[in-house]
């Protein structure tokens, strides 16, 4: 039997962005935070590097802004970049106040006996400005925020809840455009429940699972982007998908990212014969932005016909490696690789979705009452290529900004009433789930082959043809059978894939993460790719 629930705020997603927003809101509000798997299944938990912020006296806001603009290949929105960076110090202080155990630098003592936090440097940054917790920053942040959320009696943390679709006034044929809640699959009961809320927040992460090889956990299926699109929101710059240059290449190592901080601390990229190659592609060599490093690795692998390249930090003292990179050291050791003595085999893998749902500086979308924060959103911060460790910073800054906006509007919005129950009367249980599995595999493979690190018009046209056939098949399946997590994710992933392909086809140049052999040059004027959903009538 399906259930009805009512909250002041419904947060779909339990990562850094969603938890930060929930914890920033006042305690008299009833808040539900939904996770479609276990709470720790999102990307936040696995983030290794850290959070970029202006924290050192030798660093400046202008320098961080300039580095971000340079990495973004002329497409960042400068007002968004400056807004994010200007709020970076207070966001980090908030995390420290929550109890996040950032690594301290025992080399520099304060007069009062305390210690400075250790700051590292990553690709594209001109200063050491990455605050971190060893090489497991995401886990440290997530565990701290989750612990704080569990202390709050007004926050319900609900696992195994898969959002199916948003409920809007438009969908209910009511006057207005407002988002009223969401239909949510309870995986324990198998029923689709109705969640009404005064404010709904999409914090569902990115869509890197659209690719065959990815550093992301299984849940990164673009759910929030697809649901927002169907609800009437614009999306922006979805052609820019960042491929992390260095993921562990091993047949048993599923989705293990080797943090960029290794290169920040001197690790070198080498060919199988031990020769360095990055200096041939960029004067910054291993510290070039991720798009340049990923393309360089892809080029060398294809040129030589090899399966991987190698990341070598073995020239550093063993104690230094084990202290600064304990997670990478232990994980590689599990696969018989001692990084204090030998290089790490690495390949690029889909890592981050730079585009997303169009929002303002409060995280508000085109639909009243609906917010998107974190990797789900398109703020203009990342431009054509996200600079390392700016993503977590964006989560905290925009989550806090969205919370402030919600608090200002509390008295203007009443709870939605009498939302209709999910109608499953016309569907049956599926006995053909093999179709879902087949379509899932086909989608991820042609996205990797045709819409990957290097693109062409012909590849994109083939991808567009295939994805439209898949969307038709999936829509027919969705209309006739009961929903499951696999079906919901496939439906969303195919929708986002189609938006990515359309966005890539509209960009007639190579810029940042979008590189096409048919238009290898960058146009003199930088423009965002904004797609409008059909409900706008254009």
Given the residues 290, 295, 400, 455, select the one marked as catalytic: 290
234 is catalytic: no
Residue 149: CB atoms within 10 Å: 21
Inter-residue contact 44 to 394 (CB < 8 Å): no
Percentages (nearest 5) of helix, strand, coil residues in the chain: 40, 20, 40
3-state secondary structure 456-511: CHHHHHHHHHHHHHHHHHHHHHHHHECCCHHHHHHHHHHHHHHHHHHHHHHCCCCE
Angstrom distance (rounded) from CA 384 to CA 241: 9
Tokens representing 62?
Answer: 């202008």
Angstrom distance (rounded) from CA 52 to CA 58: 14
Distance (Å) of CA 144 to CA 7, 75, 538: 24, 34, 46
**For 183-186, which contacts have Cβ atoms below 8 Å and span 24 or more sequence positions?**
183/422, 184/34, 185/161, 185/483, 185/484, 185/485, 185/488, 186/3, 186/160, 186/161
Task: Provide the pairing of β-strand 377-378 with 356-358.
Answer: parallel
What single string gives the DSSP state of each residue in 87-116? Answer: THHHHHHHHHHHT--PPEEEEEE-TTS-EE
Q: Tally the residues of the chain.
A: 538
Look at the alpha carbons of 465, 506, 201, 413 in this order and tell me if their dihedral is positive or negative: negative
| Residues labelled catalytic | 290
């Amino acid at each position: 039997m399906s259930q009805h629930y009512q909250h002041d705020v419904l947060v779909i997603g339990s990562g850094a962005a969603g938890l930060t927003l929930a914890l920033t809101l006042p305690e008299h509000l009833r808040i539900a935070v939904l996770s479609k798997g276990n709470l720790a299944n999102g990307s936040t938990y696995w983030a290794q590097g850290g959070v970029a912020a202006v924290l050192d006296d030798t660093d400046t806001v202008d320098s961080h802004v300039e580095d971000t603009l340079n990495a973004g290949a002329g497409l960042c929105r400068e007002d968004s970049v400056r807004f994010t960076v200007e709020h970076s110090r207070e966001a980090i202080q908030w995390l420290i106040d929550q109890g996040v155990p950032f690594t301290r630098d025992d080399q520099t003592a304060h007069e009062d006996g305390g210690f400075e936090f250790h700051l590292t440097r990553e690709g594209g940054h001109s200063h050491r400005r990455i605050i971190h917790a060893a090489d497991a920053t995401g886990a440290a942040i997530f565990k701290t925020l989750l612990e704080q959320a569990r202390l709050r009696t007004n926050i319900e943390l609900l696992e195994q809840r898969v959002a199916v679709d948003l409920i809007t006034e438009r969908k209910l044929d009511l006057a207005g455009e407002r988002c009223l809640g969401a239909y949510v699959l309870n995986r324990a009961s198998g029923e689709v429940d109705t969640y009404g809320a005064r404010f709904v927040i999409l914090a569902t992460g990115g869509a890197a699972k659209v690719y065959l090889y990815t550093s992301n956990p299984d849940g990164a299926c673009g759910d929030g982007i697809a649901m927002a699109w169907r609800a009437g929101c614009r999306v922006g710059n979805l052609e820019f998908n960042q491929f992390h240059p260095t993921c562990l290449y091993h047949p048993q190592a599923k989705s293990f990212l080797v943090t960029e901080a290794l290169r920040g601390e001197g690790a070198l990229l080498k060919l199988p014969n031990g020769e360095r190659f990055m200096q041939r592609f960029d004067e910054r060599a291993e510290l070039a932005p991720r798009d340049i490093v990923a393309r360089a690795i892809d080029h060398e692998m294809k040129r030589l016909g090899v399966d991987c390249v190698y990341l070598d930090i073995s020239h550093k003292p063993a104690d230094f490696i084990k202290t600064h990179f304990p997670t990478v050291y232990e994980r590689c050791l599990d696969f018989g690789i001692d990084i204090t003595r030998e290089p790490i085999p690495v390949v690029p893998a889909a890592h981050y979705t730079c585009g997303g749902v169009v929002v303002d500086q409060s995280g508000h979308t085109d639909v009243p009452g609906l917010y998107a924060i974190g990797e789900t959103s398109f703020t203009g911060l990342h431009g054509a290529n996200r600079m390392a460790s700016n993503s977590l910073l964006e989560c905290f800054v925009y989550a806090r900004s969205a919370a402030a906006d919600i608090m200002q509007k509390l008295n203007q919005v009443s709870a939605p009433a009498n939302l209709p129950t999910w109608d499953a009367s016309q569907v049956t249980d599926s006995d053909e789930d093999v179709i879902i599995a087949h379509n899932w595999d086909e989608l991820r493979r042609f996205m990797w082959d045709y819409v990957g690190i290097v693109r062409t018009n012909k590849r994109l046209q083939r991808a567009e043809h295939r994805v439209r056939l898949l969307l038709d098949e999936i829509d027919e399946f969705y209309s006739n059978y009961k929903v499951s997590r696999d079906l919901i994710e496939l439906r969303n992933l195919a929708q986002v894939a189609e938006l990515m392909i359309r966005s890539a086809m509209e960009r007639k140049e190579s810029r940042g993460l979008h590189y096409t052999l048919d238009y290898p040059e960058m146009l003199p004027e930088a423009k965002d790719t904004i797609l409008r959903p059909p409900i706008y009538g254009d």
